[in-house]
Chains A and B, each alone.
Chain A
Amino acid sequence: MVDIVPLSSYPSYIDLLPSIQTCNITNLPENYFLKYYLYHALTWPQLSFVAIVRPRNGYKHGSGNGLAGVGAAGDVSGQYPKVVGYVLAKMEEEPTDGKQHGHITSLSVMRTHRRLGIAERLMRMSQRAMAESHRANFVSLHVRMSNTAALRLYRDTLGFEVEKVESGYYADGEDAYAMHLKLDHMWLDWKAIEKKDRENNKEEGDEDADEGEEVGDLGKKDMDKQIRVKVGRGLGVGELVEKNEARS
C-alpha cells in the first residue's frame, strides 16, 4: 500500500531525503546532490511529494489520543518507510515572460511499483499546490522523446501539451520535449479571501486594506532581488541551483 505525502510541508517527511535521493539515482540518469533536494524542499515546501510504502503495522501512534501526532512531526525514526517514488518541483525563478509558473525538476517511481497511479497522483498534488500556493499560470517539464510511458502520463492522462523540442537537452545527447499544462483554473478565489480580510478588518474597526495583490507581488520581487545579491558570499545555495550531473 502506497501513501502519497508531502515532502516538507505539514506533516514533514524531510527525513526521507536520503531515500529519495537513492530512489532517483536508482532509476534515472539525472542526479543531484542532497543539497539540491534540500534547496527545493526549503524554497518551495508545498510543491514536492513522496510516495511511501507504509510500515507493516501502520504508522506509529504518537502520544495523545487516536490519531494525534501520527506522522505529525514527520518523525519516522525507527520505522523508516520505503520510498517508492517522488516528485521534486519548483517555481521558475526568472520566468522569461514574467508569468509565474512551476517546473517539474524530477519525477520517478520505482519499477516495482509501476502502474498503480502513483506518478499521476504525485503530479496532481504538485500541480494543485503550484496553483494554490504560488499562483502558477502553468507547469512545465522536460521529457525524453524516447520515454513513451512518461509521455503517455503527461499527455494523455494529465493533459500536457508539447511546447517545443529541445535538441540535445540531455547529457547523452537525446532530445527533450518541453511540455506544459495550464493551471490557472485551479487558482483559489483570492478576491473572496480579500473580501473576508476587509470584513474582518472592519470588525476590528480598521479602514483600509485594499492594496492586496499588487503590493504582494512587488514585495516578492524585491525579496528575490535581495536574495540574488546576498547569496554570492562563499558557498551560497544559489551556486548549486543548476548544477547537476545531467546538464553541467
Chain B
Amino acid sequence: MPQPLPSKDQSLFRQVVRHFEMKQYKKGIKTADQVLRKNPTHGDTQAMKALNMSQIGQSEEAFALAKEALRNDMKSHITWHVYGLLYRQEKNYEEAIKAYRFALRLEPESQPIQRDLALLQMQMRDYQGYIQSRSSMLQARPGIRSNWTALAIAHHLAGDLAEAEKVLTTYEETLKGATPPVADMENSEAVLYKNTIIAETGNIERALEHLEATGYRCTDPLAVLEMKADYLLRLDRKADAEAAYTALLERNPDNSIYYNGLILAKSIPENDHKALKALYDEWVEKFPRCDAARRIPLDFLEGEDFKQAADAYLERMLKKRVPSLFVNVKHLYVNPAKRDTVQALVEEKISSQQSNGSAEANGDNNEYLSCIYYFLAQHYNYHLSRNLPKAMENVEKAIELLPKAVEYQMTKARIWKHYGNPIKAAEEMEKARLLDEKDRHGNTKAAKYVLRNNENEKGLELMSKFTRNETVGGTLGDLHEMQCTWFLTEDAEAFLRQKKIGLALKRFHSVYNIFETWAEDQFDFHSFSLRKGMIRAYVDMVRWEDRLREHPFYTRIAIGAVKTYLLLHDQPDLAYGPIPGGPDGLNSTDENERKKALKKAKKEQQRLEKIESDKREARKAAAANAKSVDGETKKEDADPLGNALVQTQDPLQDAMKFLTPLLECTPKNIEGQCLGFEVYSRRNKHLLAVKCLAAAHAIDPSNPTLHLQLLRFRKTLDGLSEPLPEQVAEAVNAEFDKLLPKSQNLEEWNESYLSSNKGSATHVQAALSARQVLKAESKSQCEKELLATLDLPEITINEATVAFDLLNEWGSDKTAYAEKASKKWPESSVFDLN
C-alpha cells in the first residue's frame, strides 16, 4: 500500500512523474527533493527520484536510493517497478523480471508494468512467460489489433504454429467481413505474416491458396511474387512457376536465384548447356545492360563454347573499361581449364595490340590497354593463378599509362602484400590513398595496410581523417561509437602480433561489447515494431538476433581473444608488456637475464601509462574549454591500455566469455574447436576437451592442428599424475579411443601421417612438432626437415612464416631458415631477423 501524502505533496509527486515522462530529469529530482524534505521516507518519491537520477548518469546513486525506497515501502508497485527498471538498465534482466512480477502482483491491472514485463520476457526469449503476459494484455484491450498480433508472435516463436495462426484468424473474424482498406499496411503485413506461418507448417498448398486469395491487395508486391514463385515451384506447378519467375526477372534481372528458379520451372536439364545459354541470351536481349545474364553462362559452359563466350564477355567489359571485370570472373578459376583459357585470351589481346603497331597510341587506346594490363596484374596476383613478378610487371605498365588510377596503385600494394612485404605494401597503399584523399575507401585500405604492418598509431591517425575527433575519446572513441568493427579487429590483431596483450584484449573486448550492443538494440523494437505493424521483418530480426554471433566478425574476434588469453596463460610475464623471446629474453635459462627483461618490460609499461594519463589530462582540459557539442559528457575510459584486463587472475576463465558463444554459434569452425581443446585441456576439463577434438575430427580428420592435439592429449591421458574419476575416465576414453586408439603405436602413426601428407608444408610442420613431443632428441632432425619444406613446390609464404614462428616454439635458431626463405622470396620482409 503506497504511503499517503498530504495533498500538496501529492500534487508535487505527480509533477515528478510528469517531469520524468517529459525527460526533465533534473527538474524531476528537484521536485522530488521538495517532497522528501517533508516526507523523508516516502518510498514512491524516493523511487521516482532514483528513476530520474538514473537517466542523467547517476546510476549507482540511483540504485542505492531505489533500494532504500523499497525498504521504506515494500508494498508499493511503484518502488518495485522502479527497482525493475533500474535492473533493466543494468541489463540484469533476471532480477528486473522478478521485480516487475512483484510490482504486478501488487497492481495486477497496471498496463505499464505488464508491458515492461512482457518486453523483457521477449528479450529473454521466455516465450511461455511472454504468452501469458500477452494473453492478459489482449484480454485487457482486445480492440487493438497489435495485441492480437503480439500474441500470435508469442505462439509462433514458441513453436506453436497452429495456435499462432488461430489467433490471427480469430482477429480477422472479429472484423466480420469488413475488409480493411488496401492502404492499411498493418493489415497487409499481418496477412502476409499469417501466410508465412502457414508455409512454415509445410502445407504449401494451403499457403499458396491463402496467398492467391489475399496477395493481390498486399502492400509488398515483390514479396508476394517471391513467395508465390517459391510455393509454385515447391508444388511442382511448373507452368505457373515459370510465369512467376519470369515476372520476377522482369523486375530484377540481377538475381541469379530467379534464373535458377526459371530453369527448374522449365525443366531444363543441368547439362543441356545449349538450352541454358539460349535462356540467358533471351534475357541479355531484354536487358542489354544487365550483367548477370551475360556472366552466369560462363559458370556452366565448357571447352570451345566457354572460350567463345568468355572472349565476348571479356572484350565487351574491357571495351567498356569496367574496372571490376576481374573480381567478376575470378570465381571461374576453381576450374583450371577456364583459368588458363581466360589467361590466354587476355594475353592474346595484349600481343595483338602490340602487333597492330604502337602507331595508334592515342589516349583512348591507352585506356583500353591499361585495362588489359590491370586485368592481368590482378590475374597474376590471384592465389589460383599467382605469378607475382608478372603481376608487378603488368601493374607497372598499367600505372605508366594511367598514373592517376587509384585501383592500379592499390593492386600494386596488394602485390607487395603477397610478396610478404607488409612494409612496402603499406607504403604503396599510402600512395594510392594520396591519389584521392577524399575517398574513404582508399583511406580505409591505407589504414588497414599500416595495421597489417603493426603500426597501430599510424593506423589511427589515418582513420582520424574521416572521424569527428571532438569527443573525449578522440578518434578511437568515434570509431567505437560508430561500431567500426573492422578497425578494432585489425588493431587488436596487430597488438596481438606484437604481444601487447593488454591492448589486444582491450580491442577484442570492444568488438565483443559492440555485439552486446547489437543484441540490446532489438529491445526497443519489441514494442516499436508492434506499433509499426511490420511484423515479418520483426520476426526475422528476432531470429537473426538469436544467431547474431554466427557472423564471421564475431568468429574472428573470438578466435583472436581466445588465442590472446592462451598466450597470457602460457606466458604470464607478458602481462607486463611484450618481452623479447629467445635466449636473451623470456626463454632465457639464466634467471637473472629473465628478471632483467621483465624489469625492463615493467618500466616500459609504466612509461606508457604515464603517457596515456597525460593525454587524458590534456583532453580533459580541452574538453572543459570546448564544452562538448551535444551537451552529453562521454564517460572517460579509465583503462585505455587494457591493464585491468591483462592483470586477470584467471585468463582461461576470461577466455570462456569468447569461447562459449564461438563453440555454440559456429560449431563447424575447426579453428574454434581446436582452440576449445586448448582452453579445456589447460583447465583440466578432459571431457570437454575430447568433445572439441571429436568435433574437429568430424570436420577434417587430417587437420594439422588437430593431429598434434590428438597426440598431446594421448600423452596427457597417459601421464596423469592422478587418475580421472572413474565415470569421467570411461567417457573420455570411449570417445578418444575412436579418434586415436590407445593401442596405436604413436611414432608409427605420426610418421605415416607425415608420409601421406608430405607435399603440404602445414601438415609436415605439425608432424615434426609431434615427433618432438614423442622424442625430444629428434629436434635437430626436425629442424633439417622443416628447412627442407621450403623446397616443396606448393609451399606458400604464409605457411613459411608459420614455420618461422614454430622455430621459436621449438627454441631453435632461425638463421638458416630465414636465409633460405629470404632467398626463395627475395622481395619479402617477413623473414628479416631484426
Contacts and interface: CB of A to CB of B under 8 A. Distances in A.
Contacts of A110: 441
Given A27-B441, A43-B534, A18 B321 contact: no
Contacts of B107: none
Interface in A49-63: 53-54, 56, 58-59
Contacts of A120: 289
Contacts of B478: 245
B183 A46 contact: no
A155 interface: no
* Interface residue SS majority, chain B: helix
Of all A-B residue pairs in the complex, the 9 with the closest CB atoms, nearest first, are A216-B183, A216-B181, A45-B537, A10-B223, A12-B540, A35-B521, A8-B537, A111-B441, A68-B234
Contact of B177 (A115, A201, A215): A201
A3 B666 CA distance: 25
Most chain A Cβ neighbours within 10 Å, of B21, B441, B521, B534:
B521
Interface stretch (B326-334, B385-393, B643-651): B326-334
B825 interface: no
Given A9-B537, A42-B529, A67-B261, A4 B486 contact: no
A15 B482 CA distance: 19
Interface in B250-295: 251-252, 254-257, 260-261, 264, 289-292, 295
Given A34-B521, A209-B178, A213-B181, A193 B528 contact: no
Contacts of B177: 201, 204, 206
B697 to A, nearest CB: 19
A78 B323 CA distance: 30
Given A9-B536, A70-B260, A46 B222 contact: yes
A42 B532 contact: yes
Most chain A Cβ neighbours within 10 Å, of B22, B483, B544, B550:
B544
Contact of B220 (A56, A59, A73, A133): A133
Interface stretch (A121-129, A159-167, A177-185): A121-129
B755 to A, nearest CB: 32
Given A34-B483, A132-B221, A220-B185, A66 B233 contact: yes
B174 to A, nearest CB: 15
Contact of B296 (A1, A15, A73, A135): A1
Contacts of A237: 524-525, 528
B598 to A, nearest CB: 40
A41 B438 contact: no
B407 interface: yes
A29 B251 CA distance: 32
Contact of A188 (B221, B529, B547, B553): B221
Contact of B184 (A66, A116, A216, A226): A216
Contact of B550 (A19, A73, A77, A115): A77
A1 B256 CA distance: 8
A26 B486 CA distance: 9
Nearest to A118: B254
Interface string A140-177: 00000010000000000000000000000001000000
A55 to B, nearest CB: 10
A42 B537 CA distance: 6
Given A42-B528, A111-B407, A245 B541 contact: no
Given A67-B257, A68-B233, A223-B186, 15 more contacts: A12-B544, A14-B540, A26-B441, A41-B537, A42-B528, A72-B230, A77-B547, A78-B666, A125-B252, A190-B182, A190-B183, A196-B216, A212-B181, A223-B531, A226-B531
Interface of A: 1-6, 8-12, 14-15, 17-19, 21-22, 25-29, 31-35, 38, 41-46, 53-54, 56, 58-59, 64-68, 70-74, 77-78, 80, 110-118, 120-121, 125, 128-129, 132-135, 146, 171, 188, 190, 193-194, 196-197, 201, 204, 206, 209, 211-213, 215-217, 219-220, 223, 226-227, 230-233, 235-237, 245, 248
B64 interface: no
Interface of B: 21-23, 177-186, 192, 196, 216-217, 219-223, 226-227, 230, 233-234, 236, 251-252, 254-257, 260-261, 264, 289-292, 295-296, 299, 320-324, 327-328, 331, 334, 406-407, 438-442, 444, 466-468, 478, 481-486, 517-518, 521-525, 527-529, 531-534, 536-538, 540-541, 543-544, 547, 550-553, 629-630, 666, 668
Nearest to B478: A245
Contacts of B291: 1-2, 116-117
Nearest to B517: A34
Contact of B182 (A15, A21, A42, A213): A213
Contacts of A17: 544
A232 B23 contact: yes
B322 A115 contact: yes
Contacts of A113: 324, 327-328
A28 B440 contact: yes
Nearest to A51: B254
A231 B537 contact: no
B182 A59 contact: no
12 contacts: A1-B295, A14-B540, A29-B466, A45-B536, A56-B334, A71-B257, A78-B668, A112-B324, A132-B222, A197-B179, A219-B181, A236-B524
Given A2-B254, A4-B252, A231-B528, A80 B551 contact: yes
A215 B183 CA distance: 9
Nearest to B256: A3
A237 B534 CA distance: 15
Nearest to A110: B441
Given A22-B485, A29-B440, A115-B321, A34 B518 contact: yes
A99 B256 CA distance: 36
B551 A9 contact: no
A15 B529 CA distance: 18
B702 to A, nearest CB: 21
Contacts of B233: 66-68
Contacts of A6: 222-223
B340 to A, nearest CB: 19
A171 B226 CA distance: 40
Contact of B320 (A70, A115, A128, A132): A115
A134 B182 CA distance: 11
A116 B181 contact: no
Contacts of B179: 197, 201, 209
A64 B234 CA distance: 8
Given A2-B254, A78-B550, A227-B531, A46 B223 contact: yes
Given A34-B521, A56-B331, A232-B21, A41 B541 contact: yes
B440 A171 contact: no
Nearest to B630: A248
B541 A8 contact: yes
Nearest to A28: B440
Contact of B254 (A3, A25, A68, A111): A3
A59 B184 contact: no
A71 to B, nearest CB: 6
A110 B407 CA distance: 12
Most chain B Cβ neighbours within 10 Å, of A10, A216, A231:
A10
B222 A70 contact: no
B547 to A, nearest CB: 6
B182 A67 contact: no
A116 B294 CA distance: 12
B233 to A, nearest CB: 5
A47 B628 CA distance: 36
Contact of B482 (A4, A33, A53, A129): A33
A117 B289 contact: yes
A113 B525 CA distance: 34
Contact of A26 (B196, B252, B440, B666): B440
B431 to A, nearest CB: 16
A42 B541 contact: yes
A131 to B, nearest CB: 10
A185 B184 CA distance: 21
Contacts of A115: 320-324
A117 B630 CA distance: 40
A46 B192 CA distance: 13
